[in-house]
Amino acid sequence: MAAFWLLAACMTLVALGFILVPLLRPRASRGPSVEEANLDVLRGQRREIEADVANGVLPADARDEALADLMRRARVDLAPAAPMATGTRRPWAAAIAAAIAVPVLAFGLYLAVGTPEAVDPPRVGHAGGQLTDAQVVAMVETLARKVRERPDDVRGWALLARSLSTMGRFEEAVAAYEHLASIAPDDPQVLADYADALGMQQGRSLAGRPTELVQRALAIDPAHPKSLALAGTAAFDAGDYPAAARYWSRLAAQMPEGSEDRGRVDAMLDEVRTKAAAAGKPLAPGATAVAQAAAPSDGKPAAAATSVSGSVSVAAALAAKVDRSAALFIFARAVNGSRMPLAVIRASAGELPRDFTLDDSLAMAPALRISGADAVRIEARISRSGTAQPQSGDLVGVSDVVKPGARGVKIVVDKVVP
- DSSP string computed for 210-277: HHHHHHHHHHH-TT-HHHHHHHHHHHHHTT-HHHHHHHHHHHHTTS-TT-HHHHHHHHHHHHHHHHHH
Stretch 373-400: mean pLDDT: 88
Alpha carbon distance 206, 204 (integer Å): 7
Q: How far is C-alpha 186 from the geometric centre of its chain's CA atoms?
A: 24
The percent of residues above 70 in pLDDT, for the chain, comes to 71
Task: Give SS3 for 237.
Answer: helix
Stretch 90-100: mean pLDDT: 67
Alpha carbon distance 89, 80 (integer Å): 24
Least Cα distance to 307 among 246, 372, 236 occurs for: 372
Confidence of residue 310 (pLDDT cuts 50, 70, 90): very high
DSSP one-letter code for 296: P
Stretch 205-213: mean pLDDT: 92
Alpha carbon distance 42, 222 (integer Å): 112
Q: Which residue has the higher pLDDT, 110 or 292?
A: 110
**Torsion over CA of 301, 303, 306 and 307, rounded to 10 degrees?**
180
Task: Give SS3 for 328.
Answer: strand
Alpha carbon distance 44, 74 (integer Å): 12
Alpha carbon distance 406, 391 (integer Å): 29
Q: Model confidence over 223-269: pLDDT tens digits?
A: 888 999 999 999 999 988 888 888 988 888 888 778 888 888 888 88
- Please state which of the ranges 56-65, 148-157, 315-324 shows the lowest mean pLDDT: 56-65
Q: Using alpha carbons, list the distances in angstroms from residue 113 to 2, 3, 105, 110, 385.
A: 20, 21, 12, 5, 50
344 close to 329: Cβ distance less than 8 angstroms: yes
Q: Is the pLDDT of residue 29 over 60?
A: no
Task: Give SS3 for 308.
Answer: strand
Alpha carbon distance 200, 175 (integer Å): 13
Least Cα distance to 331 among 370, 366, 292 occurs for: 370
Stretch 271-278: mean pLDDT: 86
Stretch 103-114: mean pLDDT: 65
> What pLDDT, on the 0 to 100 scale, is given for residue 157?
92
172 close to 178: Cβ distance less than 8 angstroms: no
347 φ, ψ (degrees, to nearest 5): -140, -160
Alpha carbon distance 73, 79 (integer Å): 10
DSSP lists the bridge partners of residue 313 as 412
The crossing angle, in degrees rounded to 10, of helices 209-220 and 225-237 is 140
Task: Give SS3 for 334.
Answer: strand
The crossing angle, in degrees rounded to 10, of helices 225-237 and 188-201 is 30
> What pLDDT, on the 0 to 100 scale, is given for residue 194?
94
Stretch 350-377: mean pLDDT: 84
24 close to 88: Cβ distance less than 8 angstroms: no
Stretch 320-331: mean pLDDT: 90
Least Cα distance to 340 among 331, 348, 349 occurs for: 331
Q: Distance from first CA to last CA of the chain, Å, rounded?
A: 61
The amino acid sitting at 274 is T
Alpha carbon distance 309, 326 (integer Å): 22
Find all residues with CB under 8 Å of 176, minimum gap 6, and list them.
157, 160, 161, 164
pTM of the model: 0.49
- Residue spans of alpha helices (H) in 114-187: 121-129, 133-148, 154-166, 170-183
Q: Is the pLDDT of residue 343 over 80?
A: yes
- Please state which of the ranges 6-15, 157-166, 183-192 shows the lowest mean pLDDT: 6-15
Stretch 31-39: mean pLDDT: 59
Q: Is the pLDDT of residue 335 over 60?
A: yes
Stretch 270-281: mean pLDDT: 84
